[in-house]
Amino acid sequence: MKLKSIAAGVALSLGASVISISAMAAETIKVGVLHSLSGTMAISETTLKDTVLMMVEEQNKKGGLLGKQLEAVVVDPASNWPLFAEKTRELLTKENVDVIFGCWTSVSRKSALPVLEELNGLMFYPVQYEGEESSKNVFYTGAAPNQQAIPAVDYLANDLGVERWVLAGTDYVYPRTTNKILEAYLKSKGVAAEDIMINYTPFGHSDWQSIVSDIKKFGGEGKKTAVVSTINGDANVPFYKELGNQGISSEDIPVVAFSVGEEELSGLDTKPLVGHLAAWNYFQSVENDANTAFIKQWKAFTSEERVTNDPMEATYIGFNMWANAVTKAGTTDVDAVEQAMIGQETPNLTGGVAVMNKNHHLSKPVLIGEIQDNGQFEVVWETDGVVAGDAWSDFLPGSKDLISDWTSPTKCGNYNTVTKACSGSN
């Protein structure tokens, strides 16, 4: 009887501990951070981890959400694409996070996506991407191709008179799909196949001598030539150095990059790169009160002279929209927050207002920036207003009839306007 009493007491004590631990866990709202802190993408993603931590700290100073403090849970997928799926599962099942902010490359997002949909998690993806996707479980706060790639090509053709095109990218889904869209778009504008050169290199590629030599030769045949770069991560450093080594200036063959911002330039000698371009939806150099305050907050948080960049702004917008949606829904429940997100508006850092549309993509401005010798960009062109992100390209045969609408009665990521059918979850 004494042993039974002891056992019962232990069980009661353990039960109380479980209840106590559960109650403690419920006292915070957990924010998962899924960014590479090591490997080839750490050069870009570490800054986004720090941005989320800054936003969590700022929200907690405001009193948190729903009467609870926010708690950041950071994991390192280490630029290992399959590991993104494993770390997503860990965040959702072991850490029980309420939301995830994460991923940079599309292959990392594609790795995490099936886990998010299986476990009904919620993720905010803050980087430009190739489109051709719309999931109930993801909000895309970076640019779709019609908010970056296509406007950049139009600028090069219309303002700089470019007639020959080098589509140079890292060998994975984002560059390949983006270049497929751009190739179709250029041909629809009358560009001949022989005036388009396409090249892919692995992540972390470092030997650019022969490739840059080929680009130089391709651009020396009498037609104005430009490079449209979807080169990602730390491979950009030797690429730009080799351009300088071979004497290729922005006047000879301008490069417009979709993955090079202030953070990447901070590791380069930018003097040989002056005049080359990047297309984004935000630059640190934009002057307005909101951006000035954001830069000041960032420098205070890091205690360093670190730069800001476009994916940071996309993280900032996504975080603020999520906080507003949680407040509106009165819960962190994924289904409730997902519906509360649609139609959310929040100030961006370029002087306008970001809007979350029914396809889980933002409306945002498009800016072309020219590299300066101080590592910043001077804005040389921008859209008159915001551009709504298009989940499905109008220039790919399998996509032009698709729309995404996550409101009733459709609630579909790829609704075919011809067949009047939903093709699947994303």
> CB of 229 within 8 A of CB of 168?
yes
Token pair recorded at residue 229: 């770069």
Q: State whether 260 and 318 are in the same domain.
A: no
Report the sign of the C-alpha dihedral through residues 244, 246, 250, 256, in that order: negative
Q: State whether 346 and 264 are in the same domain.
A: no
Q: State whether 71 and 130 are in the same domain.
A: yes
What is the Cα–Cα distance from 414 to 398, expressed in whole angstroms?
A: 11
pLDDT at 20: 39
Specify the number of domains making up the chain.
2
pLDDT at 177: 95
pLDDT digits (tens, 9 = 90+) for 8-53: 454 444 454 444 344 444 699 999 999 999 998 998 899 999 999 9
Q: State whether 120 and 163 are in the same domain.
A: no
Q: State whether 382 and 349 are in the same domain.
A: no
Judge if the upstream peptide bond of residue 409 is cis by omega within 30 degrees of 0: yes
What is the Cα–Cα distance from 33 to 237, expressed in whole angstroms?
A: 26
Q: State whether 277 and 293 are in the same domain.
A: no
pLDDT at 271: 82
Does residue 273 lie within any of the structural domains? yes
Q: State whether 60 and 209 are in the same domain.
A: no
Q: State whether 241 and 356 are in the same domain.
A: no
Segments in 303-396 forming alpha helices (H): 310-329, 334-341
Burial bucket for residue 119 (CB in 10 Å: 0-12, 13-18, 19+): middle
Among 315, 350, 365, identify where a domain stops: 365
Q: State whether 45 and 92 are in the same domain.
A: yes
Token pair recorded at residue 212: 């840059």
Q: State whether 140 and 150 are in the same domain.
A: no
What is the Cα–Cα distance from 261 to 283, expressed in whole angstroms?
A: 8
Q: Which domain holds residue 231?
A: 146-286+368-388
Type and span of the H or E element at 405: strand 402-405
Dihedrals φ, ψ of 69, to 5°?
-80, 155
pLDDT at 277: 97
Does residue 4 lie within any of the structural domains? no
Q: State whether 166 and 246 are in the same domain.
A: yes
Does residue 187 lie within any of the structural domains? yes
- The pTM score is 0.89
Of 74, 128, 72, 76, the residue nearest 319 (C-alpha): 72
Does residue 317 lie within any of the structural domains? yes
Does residue 63 lie within any of the structural domains? yes
Among 330, 365, 400, identify where a domain stops: 365
Residues in the chain predicted with pLDDT less than 70, given as ranges, are: 1-26, 424-426
Does residue 393 lie within any of the structural domains? no
Dihedrals φ, ψ of 370, to 5°?
-105, 130
Q: State whether 298 and 206 are in the same domain.
A: no
Does residue 396 lie within any of the structural domains? no
Does residue 156 lie within any of the structural domains? yes
- Output the domain CATH number for residue 372: 3.40.50.2300
pLDDT at 290: 95
Of 195, 194, 191, 231, the residue nearest 211 (C-alpha): 231
> CB of 66 within 8 A of CB of 27?
no
